[in-house]
Structure 1
Amino acid sequence: MAETTDHDTFADAVREGRLWVALSGNRPVGFALVKMIGSGLPHLEEIDVDPPHGRRGLGTALVRTVCDWAAASGSATLTLTTFRAVPWNLPFYARLGFVEVPFSTLSPELAAIVAEEAHRGLDPATRAVMAYQCGQPLPVSTR
């Protein structure tokens, strides 16, 4: 399933300070996009690094930046959803301090995200909801 994020979503995120871009020279090679799912409830909606620039720490730097931003913004938790079985997804976030949130304990906002993903064709059984407790120290090394 090919999806793209629309221009207005990016423009709103830039205006509201919820988009971070990794550059190689002047060329964008990655980004992290946060969606506010409620008052003080940031959700890492999307993160992407151009594959030729992968495995260089850009994704880690983007996630760490978002975690720092969420903590500085006064948020208690930063959430995300990811594929459960893709080897570089759930373990990557776990190494950065995210923990899985059982579906039975999801807030209404997170349950709505899972439902929206299901509506787009993503089987909830293949997905994991994860949360980072803002303010906790980020691990020094992820490899």
Structure 2
Amino acid sequence: MLPRIEAQAGERLRGHPAAKVFAASPTEAALFEQAWQRGMLWVIVSEQQLAGYLMAGVLGADFHIQQMDVAPTHGRKGLGRALLRHALQQARASGHHRAVLTTLSDVAWNAPFYASEGFSEWPSHAWSAGMREVMAAEAAAGFPMELRLAMQRILP
């Protein structure tokens, strides 16, 4: 079910320079399972249907949001915002002091959405070694890096 939500959410990027990269590298089911076992996968239900998920990991000492998708049929209902806020609460309760992620700078439901939740651009000169590795991997995968942005949020 989660791969289907990921694919449906990816359809919203049709025509965007990053669309082909996302389509060519869907999240493997095993990665969802591993995240679930580590307590780093949250799901949200709407109208008795699985509507979205947030998968995270740890990058150095940081809580790393790896992927978040909401099915378009459940979009614009605040589900992604609720999912993000819940995951950030869990991250803080687990002792993390910062959340980090990479996203698209030019897509309204990406960087502007995260900015509305207190994330700010993380300048490249300040990246951790782990974030440098993440961004290098994204470049190697073919992402249009001029549109990729690292963001961070201090967890109070």
1:37 Cα deviation from its structure 2 partner: 1.9
SS in 2 for 1:112: helix
CA deviations 1:121-141 (Å, max 9, x no partner) are: 112211111111011xxxxxx
SS in 1 for 2:137: helix
2-side partners of 1:82 and 1:37: how far apart?
16
Indicate the residue corresponding to 2:59 in structure 1: 37
SS in 1 for 2:132: helix
> Does residue 147 of structure 2 align to residue 126 of structure 1?
yes
Indicate the residue corresponding to 2:41 in structure 1: 19
- AA partner of residue 46 (structure 2): S
Indicate the residue corresponding to 1:10 in structure 2: 32
- AA partner of residue 107 (structure 2): V
RMSD of the TM alignment (CA)? 1.1
| Structure richer in helix, relative to its length | 2
1:73 aligned to which of 94, 107, 115: 94
- AA partner of residue 45 (structure 2): L
Give 1:94-109 correspondences, 5 Å limit. Answer: 94-109=115-130
2-side partners of 1:27 and 1:123: how far apart?
34
2-side partners of 1:63 and 1:133: how far apart?
14
TM-score by length of 2: 0.82
SS in 2 for 1:21: strand
1:41 Cα deviation from its structure 2 partner: 2.0
1:25 Cα deviation from its structure 2 partner: 4.3
2-side partners of 1:121 and 1:28: how far apart?
30
Q: Point out 4+ residue stretches in structure 1 off by more than 6 angstroms.
A: none
CA deviations 1:76-103 (Å, max 9, x no partner) are: 1010110011122111101100011011
1-side partners of 2:83 and 2:152: how far apart?
16
Q: Which runs of 5+ in 2 are unaligned?
A: 1-19
Indicate the residue corresponding to 1:141 in structure 2: none
Give the length in aligned residue pairs: 134
1-side partners of 2:80 and 2:93: how far apart?
20
Indicate the residue corresponding to 2:3 in structure 1: none
1-side partners of 2:40 and 2:108: how far apart?
27
Q: Which runs of 5+ in 1 are unaligned?
A: 136-143
1-side partners of 2:57 and 2:141: how far apart?
17
2-side partners of 1:87 and 1:98: how far apart?
14
